[in-house]
Amino acid sequence: MTDSNRYLQQEMARLQEENRALREEVLSLREYIDGLQALMEAVDQITPDAAVMPMLDRILVNALIVTNAKDGSLLVLDEETGELVFILSYGDVASNDLAGYRLPVGHGIAGWVADQQQPTIVDNAQSDARFFAGIDNAFDFKTSSLLAAPIVGGGRTLGVIEVLNKRNDASFTTADQTLLTLLCRYAGEILNVMTLNEPPFVADQ
């Protein structure tokens, strides 16, 4: 093989790799734009005069949409006990079964997110030291990948949204995390206004 032919083959391989990378970048950008559109639609549905539970339900549904996740839960902080309480869930575990289940203080990835007021992505939940297996064991469920973000309003943690098991066995991305964090932050400010003069609405769970 001549040097000229070798150079042409190397250049062709390089161009093919660049083309593949560009296609992936364009696809990711399209998915992010679609996510932003879904986020804007979700935000439009959140209003201060809405009832609390229907609003929380819409928030969780939209969180699943913008992240393309199969399962998800919304937990709120019981300020009297410091526990996170499952209020809503969608997916393989029925909401009625999980509603009212309390996560011990500081337990689980959701507990870490609430304590740190920081979102997190976990690609392999079972191997993460923060993972609390009690819920999976209780409901015969398998958490593979996980993305969680805090619901923060007025500087205080009000709850956490967890989305689990992204569709098509894909991994959650930083774009998913950004979209979920923005949705939770906006919802948190609205929820903070709605609950400022009310007792914790999980007390009766």
- Percent of the chain having pLDDT more than 70? 78
Please indicate, yes or no, if residue 202 is contained in any of the structural domains: no
Q: Per the structure block, which two tokens stand in for 108?
A: 């689980």
CB-CB contact of 183 with 43 (8 Å):
yes
**pLDDT confidence of residue 34:** 66
**Is residue 205 a part of any domain in this protein?**
no
User: Residue 160 falls within a domain, yes or no?
Assistant: yes
Strand, helix or coil at 29? Answer: helix
CB 155 within 8 A of CB 116: no
204 close to 81: Cβ distance less than 8 angstroms: no
Contacts of residue 107, Cβ cutoff 8 Å, sequence gap at least 6: 132, 134
pLDDT, position 28: 59
190 lies in some domain: yes
Q: How far apart are CA 102 and CA 53, in angstroms?
A: 18
Domain contains 200: no
C-alpha 159/C-alpha 103 separation (Å) is 12
Greater confidence (32 vs 171) lies with 171
Residue 83 has a pLDDT of 92
Closest CA to 195 of 162, 160, 161, 154: 154
Query: Does the residue 67 lie in any domain?
Result: yes
- Residue 187 in domain: yes
Query: What Å distances lie between residue 17 and 10, 12, 60, CA to CA?
Result: 11, 9, 39
**Can you give the pLDDT at residue 202?**
52
pLDDT digit string, tens, across residues 14-67: 778 777 767 766 665 566 566 566 656 666 666 656 677 887 888 888 889 888
- Structure confidence by residue, pLDDT tens digits, 97-116: 788 889 877 789 999 999 99
Alpha carbon dihedral 39, 45, 50, 53, in 10-degree steps, equals -50
Query: What is the number of domains present in the chain?
Result: 1
Higher pLDDT, 8 or 101: 101
CATH number at residue 158: 3.30.450.40
Residue 106 lies in a domain: yes
Identify the pLDDT of residue 205: 42
Structure confidence at residue 133 as a pLDDT band (50, 70, 90):
confident
Residue 176 sits at φ, ψ, to 5 deg, of -60, -45
Tell me if residue 146 falls in helix, strand or coil.
strand
Range of the domain at 9: 3-195
